[in-house]
A and B are shown apart, each in its own frame.
Chain A
Amino acid sequence: MLQRTSSINHIKVDSLGISSVFQIGDSHRIQALSRALAVQREAEIFFDNEGNFASYPIFSEPIPLIPVTENVKMSQQNLNPFLKVGNIDIIGVSSSSVVHLGNTCHVSMEARIKHIRHLLTDKEQT
């Protein structure tokens, strides 16, 4: 079945980082996983070798997704085979994200984030 063409007049992406993808063109399958330990500390202290994903269950527990049981038969008529976008302006693309201009078939992306707040005790204000 013929697919549509995306035509973008102008796109601006300022920054693209931490295993992110900026794809112009079609693809077949997109699969992304991002795991993060978001630690916020009251003082600016950074350790180089800390944090262990295995010690937190959030990084291994399954994410419950309701299976699709409906039997859907889809038919598509592209009377106008163009997807027109005038201007796209993106400041940041980060942590396994994808900006995709074009068609694809299957997309499965997952993000797991553990937030930790580290405060000083009252008497130990540095």
Chain B
Amino acid sequence: MNFCVYNRDIQVGSIRVLGVSSSSLLMVGDAESIQLAATFDTPPESLIVGPFVPLGPE
């Protein structure tokens, strides 16, 4: 696949972002390859009802 890019005028007035968090990227510029991955889970067993016991030690 041939992919030709012609960069002419690009001008952004204003960017307002509340938070850039957990391996996120806010970039003004060129990049060859960007690969972002995130995984999170909240399975049923992660809901613990009971006395406050600390999780397993480090």
The reply to whether B54 and A92 contact each other, CB–CB distance below 8 Å, is no
What is the interface size of chain A, counting residues whose CB is below 8 A from a CB of the partner? Answer: 79
Q: How far is the CB of A14 from chain B (nearest CB, A)?
A: 10
The reply to whether A99 and B20 contact each other, CB–CB distance below 8 Å, is yes
Residues of B in contact with A, size category? 35 or more
In the bound assembly, the distance between CA atoms of A109 and B34 in angstroms comes to 8
The reply to whether B58 and A52 contact each other, CB–CB distance below 8 Å, is yes
The reply to whether A83 and B28 contact each other, CB–CB distance below 8 Å, is yes
The reply to whether A96 and B30 contact each other, CB–CB distance below 8 Å, is no
The reply to whether B10 and A109 contact each other, CB–CB distance below 8 Å, is no
Q: Per-residue CB proximity of B42-53 to A under 8 Å, as 1/0?
A: 100011111110
The reply to whether A107 and B25 contact each other, CB–CB distance below 8 Å, is yes
The reply to whether A88 and B25 contact each other, CB–CB distance below 8 Å, is no
Note all chain B residues with C-beta closer than 8 A to A118.
Answer: 48, 52
In the bound assembly, the distance between CA atoms of A113 and B21 in angstroms comes to 12
- For the A-B complex with A74-B3, A77-B7, A80-B8 known, give 11 more contacts whose Cβ atoms are closer than 8 Å: A4-B29, A50-B58, A52-B55, A65-B37, A77-B4, A83-B10, A100-B25, A105-B32, A109-B23, A117-B47, A118-B52
